Amino acid sequence: MNQNQIAYFINQYPKVSHSFIRREILALERQGFDIFRIALRGWDAEVVDAEDKLERERTQYVLQSGVLGLIAPVIQTLIRTPVKFLSSLKLAIRMGIRADRAWPYHLVYLAEACRMLSWVQAKDIKHIHAHFGTNSAEVVMLLKLLGGPGYSFTVHGPEEFDKPEFIKLREKVSHAAFVVAISSFGRSQLFRWINYQDWNKVQVVHCGLEPSFHEDAVQPVTSAPRLVCVGRLSEQKGQLLLVDAVSKLLAKGIDIELVLAGDGEMRPEIEALIRQHSLESKVIITGWISSKQVREEILASRAMVQPSFAEGLPVVIMEAMALRRPVLTTYVAGIPELVRPGENGWLFPAGDVDELVKVLEDFLRTPTEILEKMGQAAHQRVLERHSIDVEAAKLARLFAQAISLN
């Protein structure tokens, strides 16, 4: 009997912005676990990274045959284990009351769990881990009630903390073997919304970086006034504020260049604001790029700037610091646990364009040799807190303990 046979379940995998999940899975495999990858979708998604393409081939997709492909597994589960099915159905309906999504969605989650049940039983899966506390956590909870293995899940934020009561976060934690928070801040937010008796289930495990990402990347800081902002072009990331700040700096005669590395739903608005301020030669949007290209953009820049309004603890900040670049970012969520003002970066109040301009001015006046010292301090801090093999070892112990108690 292989006690190291576990499954990972993600809404969409692989995904450009979820390289941290891939790193975690591969690190656990180095720890001796056999990981069965399951995702709702992703077989038809755009992937640009060679490693993501390989991961797609190794992943089983629940919705690849569409919703109609779930009908047969539902009927089979009802016939084989009617009592467990009805118990799970009751919970699914209850999860749909005063929820962020109407109750029919929760019936689909139950159907998805039925589809996964035969897979995890055939693979003799001992435990299943989900990423994010939204619908993926509900699916694995329903899967457990159907007779599947015990489960755990990682809460990243900020989405889960925006609507904890409507995604029934307390219920999901109560049924889980344990829950992972990616920062101390995340743990504190979980404590706000779950039963005190379940506080001991919450464990802090950081997202991590592998040595190959940064070990050969000692590259001098450029003298050009170039910054990079990496992430989805979305409301919570604050790129519109950043474009306004660039315009204000240029109006004061201070030169600056900005690369927005990413894509997303806010792109048309950001592009319109760039045109409005005539910043086409100063602000560039790359669209989705591979992990390798993100790395190259960071190395080509003087620092990373992330004016986020809401976050968990962004992996891109870890990546920039690992590549010896200081970070300019906001006092949001778990970020101050990593970024130390004056030592490895700058922190400023979220949503305050004037403070952002002041920080950018201070940064642009800072000599290159000082920035390189800050970058080295950033590199050291990340190595101490975000080694993927160290963090995967924490997860491995939690999985082993959960399996032994199952």
Cβ pair 167, 160 in contact under 8 A: yes
Mean pLDDT over each residue of the chain, to the nearest integer: 95
pLDDT at residue 2 in the model = 60
Segment 181-197 mean pLDDT? 97
Nearest to 139 by CA among 180, 165, 101, 184: 101
Largest CA distance in the chain: 74
Residue predicted with more confidence, 89 or 18 = 89
Q: Can the peptide bond before residue 158 be classed as cis, meaning omega within 30 degrees of 0?
A: yes
Residues in the chain: 406
pLDDT at residue 155 in the model = 98
Rounded Cα gap, residues 105 and 92, in angstroms: 9
Nearest to 214 by CA among 314, 130, 325: 325
Nearest to 33 by CA among 393, 402, 404, 406: 393
CATH 3.40.50.2000 fits 5-208+387-405, yes or no: yes
pLDDT at residue 222 in the model = 94
Alpha helices (H) along 211-314? 211-214, 239-251, 267-276, 291-299
pLDDT at residue 63 in the model = 96
43-47, 65-69, 250-254, 295-299: the lowest-pLDDT one: 43-47
Q: From the CA atom positions of the chain, what is the Rg in Å?
A: 22
pLDDT at residue 117 in the model = 98
215 pLDDT above the threshold of 80: no
The amino acid occupying position 205 is V
pLDDT at residue 49 in the model = 80
Contacts (Cβ under 8 Å, ≥6 apart) of 339: 317, 321, 327, 329, 345, 346, 347
55 pLDDT above the threshold of 60: yes
Domains 5-208+387-405 and 211-385 share a fold: yes
Rounded Cα gap, residues 300 and 109, in angstroms: 44
**What is the band of 1 on the pLDDT scale with cuts at 50, 70, 90?**
very low
Q: What are phi and psi of 61, to 5 degrees?
A: -110, 125
Rounded Cα gap, residues 296 and 320, in angstroms: 10
Contacts (Cβ under 8 Å, ≥6 apart) of 218: 324
Domain ranges of the chain: 5-208+387-405, 211-385
CATH class of this structure's domain 211-385? alpha beta
Cβ pair 311, 317 in contact under 8 A: no
222-263 residue pLDDT tens? 999 999 999 999 999 999 999 999 999 999 999 999 999 999
> What does the angle CA 24 – CA 26 – CA 30 come to, to the nearest 5 degrees?
110
362 pLDDT above the threshold of 60: yes
Nearest to 320 by CA among 342, 347, 339, 333: 339
DSSP state of 157: -
151 pLDDT above the threshold of 80: yes
Q: What are phi and psi of 299, to 5 degrees?
A: -65, -30
217 pLDDT above the threshold of 70: no
Predicted TM-score (pTM) of the model is 0.92
Q: Can the peptide bond before residue 14 be classed as cis, meaning omega within 30 degrees of 0?
A: yes
Rounded Cα gap, residues 24 and 365, in angstroms: 38
pLDDT at residue 392 in the model = 97
